[in-house]
Amino acid sequence: MPVLRLSHGYLPAHLKQYFVYCSLFPKYYCFSVQNLVWLWMAQGYMQDNEENAMENIGDAYFKELLSRSFFEKVDGG
């Protein structure tokens, strides 16, 4: 957990609430990106703007967290 706490400390402020929300899920919980983004939207974490739909913003935030190794991509099968 200390490594996770350290990594969380280096997250940009706008991503912290998204990551903290994901901590509500049990360890090794598998979810689709689309469903997670919808949950974030339902919590009111994102606001539509003229340039990007909320789904696109959420997808970009998920990809950024994935690139920082907060998530692990698994093949469904």
- Residues 35-73: b if buried by 16+ CB within 10 A, e if exposed: ebbebbbeeebbeeeeeeebbebbbebbeebeeeebbee
Looking at residue 50, its pLDDT comes to 72
Looking at residue 6, its pLDDT comes to 56
Q: How far apart are alpha carbons 27 and 30 in whole angstroms?
A: 9
Please state the pTM of the whole predicted model: 0.79
Looking at residue 8, its pLDDT comes to 67
- Reported as a pLDDT band with limits 50, 70 and 90, residue 3 is low
Per the CB < 8 A criterion, the answer to whether 22 and 30 are in contact is: no
Give the tens place of pLDDT for each residue, 7-45.
667 788 888 889 889 888 888 888 889 999 999 999 999
The CA–CA distances, whole Å, from 65 to 17, 50, 77 equal 12, 24, 23
Q: Where are the chain's structural domains?
A: 2-67
Looking at residue 52, its pLDDT comes to 78
